[in-house]
Amino acid sequence: MKRRLTIFALLASLAACGVPADPPRDEALAAEPTPLTAAHLADLIAADGAAHTVAVLTGPADPTGLDPIFAGIATGDAAWLSVVPSLRPVVGGVYADGLADALARALPMQPSGVLTALQASGGASPRICRATGDPDMIAAVEGVADPALRDVRTDCLAFLRGQ
């Protein structure tokens, strides 16, 4: 009898040292971060302000936190372009360069959307409307017929043409 109790105690202690079971599927999924969307970014900006949101996204834990945002803006997607007027005034240095690069990449794909974002956030800039001499880029911006964008369109075209 004593032998059985000893064996039982030994088996119980071995079972306690076994490989832990996988967490339930819902917990495993909850632990994975979800990609930041334009809508989520807009919500963060509305709740905490653009300056605070940018500070958090560029903090020491992950100084590349704006890279996915710049990638989204570079697609010319309207939802991403809609956050530009909030971001543009509060980013500086390398982050301002990243935003300008993203807007410059989006310009030939979505000239009206980019010009709208520029108009709402300080106007055209030679960092965005770069004098590349690219006839396709110039044609894309020339194709924007919205009278409300006339001034920013004219300024952007002047920069694109190196004037």
Q: What is the pLDDT of residues 47-66, one digit of tens each?
A: 999 999 999 988 887 778 89
Beta carbons within 8 Å of 50's beta carbon, 6+ residues apart = 86, 87, 89, 90
> How far apart, in Å, are the Cα atoms of 90 and each of 4, 20, 62, 101, 122?
73, 47, 18, 16, 12
pLDDT tens for each residue of 126-150: 999 998 888 999 999 999 999 999 9
pLDDT band at residue 85, thresholds of 50, 70 and 90?
Answer: very high
The answer on pLDDT for 69 being more than 90 is yes
Kindly tell me if the per-residue pLDDT of 19 is higher than 80: no
pLDDT of residue 23: 56
Domain ranges of the chain: 36-160
Confidence class for position 25, pLDDT limits 50, 70, 90: low
Residue 10 has pLDDT above 50, yes or no: no
Cβ within 8 Å of residue 48, ≥6 positions away? 56
The yes-or-no verdict on residue 107 having pLDDT over 50 is yes
Q: What is the pTM of this model?
A: 0.77
